[in-house]
Amino acid sequence: MDRRKALKAFAGGATAMGVAGALGMSSMKANASETNPSKRPEIKLNKKGKVHHDPLPYVPLDPDAVADRAYKNKLIGDCMYGVFASIVEELAEKVGGPYLTYPTTVTRYGKGGVMGWGTTCGTVNGAAMAAYLVSDKPGPIVDEVINYFQYAELPDYRPASAIMDITPSVGDSTLCHVSVARWCEASGHKAFSKERTQRCAHLAASMTRKLVMALNAQHENSFKAMYPIPQEVKDCRSCHDKGGELEDTRGKMNCMTCHEKHEV
Amino acid sequence: MDRRKALKAFAGGATAMGVAGALGMSSMKANASETNPSKRPEIKLNKKGKVHHDPLPYVPLDPDAVADRAYKNKLIGDCMYGVFASIVEELAEKVGGPYLTYPTTVTRYGKGGVMGWGTTCGTVNGAAMAAYLVSDKPGPIVDEVINYFQYAELPDYRPASAIMDITPSVGDSTLCHVSVARWCEASGHKAFSKERTQRCAHLAASMTRKLVMALNAQHENSFKAMYPIPQEVKDCRSCHDKGGELEDTRGKMNCMTCHEKHEV
């Protein structure tokens, strides 16, 4: 590997990811970090003055294969890592280039709903981050996968190397602590049992499989949401979200988990 | 830059971050990705069989300077990016090496509580990810910063380039949609107003400043939590969390936002 190839791989590893994404290495011209290591390259902005969204290349993946990898990765790096690293690793095998060196272990922070805090489930957080990394239109993918997380009976896929059957349950929310509570209730197992660890590994597999199916469909221009935002959430949003009379909050979470319906 | 230096910079860019973190490039021996681009390097595991936590080097930063950067970055890359990219950029200037090329723009996915979903606030998500990236003991840092987010009147710092004053409010939760609702109530402004955009940029600055102060203190072995978990949350956890009689969920979020106290 000569200098040109090494630099090309290096730049490839950072394409579209800001810090070095604006190195403009494809033209191989001298850049700030080469001539002055203390200066950061410029971030590219779009017409709205926001960071330019420039996803990495995606190719269709085998949903079951990536799910099986997510099951194993969850057990060594926890839930967010389970989803995110598996997408990156599979694309490293199929695409190579930037994925061969893309950092993944930092996503371990998402475990247990962000460092054990029980807020957004790591499989949701990891799926959203992965969708943003590889899709040029991540919004509909993220909506689909999170609504699946909230409303489907999960896990709905048994990983090839599974060691037990898992009772499915409905997450009811984007949140780790709600999803775990619902599963403890459905299964009769405790929140720190080995069964719950296995359940979350199966969940990482199911979420990864769903994400890959959605990404594959979008890649083939055949994506259609199977889990649209429910009417009752739309009703709430019509007053409380953007453009509503109150416009006093925002979001797409299942309102009914914590709030009661009320007359307007 | 010759091949050796290029590869060294390349490996430095990935140190401790899994995918290429296990390349073992410091010894400059041949590695899988060099000899076979389709094979990923091994991830290092610790004694528990989990991915080895190997943070990047940290040096004390100027809390106000990083906060001022976070304000600006929030406005071009949204809330999670505002916090995360600012820590990485400052460390790129002070430490260089891996930070010069560390990908940051993917963290734009955290905007509006994960792609507009209103779940975990992007400043919380970005602060936790940054803490995990640079601290060898990120847990206490994340606890401190998230409890500050939940219980302090924020924003509590005016960025150098601020264009307006912002009414402070208490987040009450880790969640974007709750924090936004509380602020809309306190300020009288709407959720998609220019004032709210500015408020979230001020919030990104305050969170970044708090994170840097906590990281600096930990680096100097003088860290002490100013926002410990409140007694009422501890009371709930004593039954519902790990080791409790019920052990039917997990987490450290403010329970009282959505649940009522009850007799036991």
Q: Helix, strand or coil for residue A20?
A: coil
A219 at interface of B, judged by CB pairs closer than 8 A: no
Mean pLDDT, residues A47-69? 96
Q: Which residues of chain A have a CB within 8 Å of the CB of B125?
A: 114, 120, 125
Q: For residue B131, what are the CA distances in angstroms to B69, B145, B213?
A: 17, 10, 12
A239 at interface of B, judged by CB pairs closer than 8 A: no
Please answer yes or no on whether B251 and A177 come within 8 Å at the CB atom.
yes
Q: Which residues of chain B have a CB within 8 Å of the CB of A249?
A: 118, 177-178, 180-181, 184, 191
**Helices and strands, number each (H, E), in chain A:** 8, 2
Residue B225: half-sphere exposure toward Cβ, Cα within 13 Å: 15
CB atoms within 10 A of CB B164: 10
- Picking from A126, A169, A162, the residue whose alpha carbon sits closest to that of residue A146 is A126
Alpha-carbon gap, residue B128 to B144, rounded angstroms: 10
Chain A residue closest to B133 (CA)?
A106
Please answer yes or no on whether A109 and B2 come within 8 Å at the CB atom.
no
Q: Which residues of chain B have a CB within 8 Å of the CB of A59?
A: none
CB atoms within 10 A of CB B110: 32
Chain A residue closest to B180 (CA)?
A249
More confident residue, A250 or B262: A250
Mean pLDDT, residues B232-255? 97
User: CA A166, A171, A176: angle at the middle one, nearest 5?
Assistant: 95
Residues A99, A92 contacting (CB under 8 angstroms): yes
Considering only the beta carbons, identify the residue of B3, B174, B248 that sits closest to A181.
Answer: B248
Chain B residue closest to A92 (CA)?
B38
Q: What's the pLDDT tens digit per position in B67-121? A: 999 999 999 999 999 999 999 999 999 999 999 989 999 999 999 999 999 999 9
* CB burial of residue B49 (10 Å; 0-12, 13-18, 19+): exposed
The pLDDT mean for chain A works out to 87
Q: For residue A4, give the DSSP letter.
A: H
Whether residue B10 has pLDDT greater than 70:
no
Whether residue A18 has pLDDT greater than 70:
no
- Picking from A72, A66, A71, A23, the residue whose alpha carbon sits closest to that of residue A44 is A23
Q: What is residue B43's predicted lDDT score, i.e. its pLDDT?
A: 79
Q: Return the percentage of chain B with pLDDT > 90, whole number.
A: 81
Structure confidence at residue A35 as a pLDDT band (50, 70, 90): very low
Q: Helix, strand or coil for residue B63?
A: helix
Whether residue B19 has pLDDT greater than 70:
no
Whether residue A106 has pLDDT greater than 90:
yes
Whether residue B192 has pLDDT greater than 80:
yes
B44 Cβ partners below 8 Å, 6+ apart?
Answer: B21, B22, B51, B52, B54
Q: What is residue B41's predicted lDDT score, i.e. its pLDDT?
A: 57
Q: What is residue A100's predicted lDDT score, i.e. its pLDDT?
A: 92
Please identify among residues 5-64 of chain B the ones whose CB lies closer than 8 Å to any CB of chain A. 6-7, 9-10, 13-14, 16-21, 23, 33-34, 37-38, 40, 43, 45, 49-51, 53-54
Helix ranges (DSSP H) in chain A: 3-12, 32-35, 63-94, 122-134, 138-151, 176-187, 194-219, 231-240
On whether ipTM exceeds 0.90, the answer is: no
Alpha-carbon gap, residue A80 to A170, rounded angstroms: 19
Of A38-42, B80-84, B146-150, the least confident: A38-42
Please answer yes or no on whether A14 and B81 come within 8 Å at the CB atom.
no
> What residue has token string 């929030």?
B74
Please identify among residues 60-89 of chain B the ones whose CB lies closer than 8 Å to any CB of chain A. 75-78, 81, 85, 88-89
Considering only the beta carbons, identify the residue of B51, B81, B185 that sits closest to A81.
Answer: B51
Residue A145 C-alpha, separation from nearest chain B C-alpha, in angstroms: 12
Please identify among residues 99-158 of chain B the ones whose CB lies closer than 8 Å to any CB of chain A. 99-110, 112-120, 124-125, 128-129, 131-133, 138-139, 142-143, 146
Whether residue B16 has pLDDT greater than 90:
no
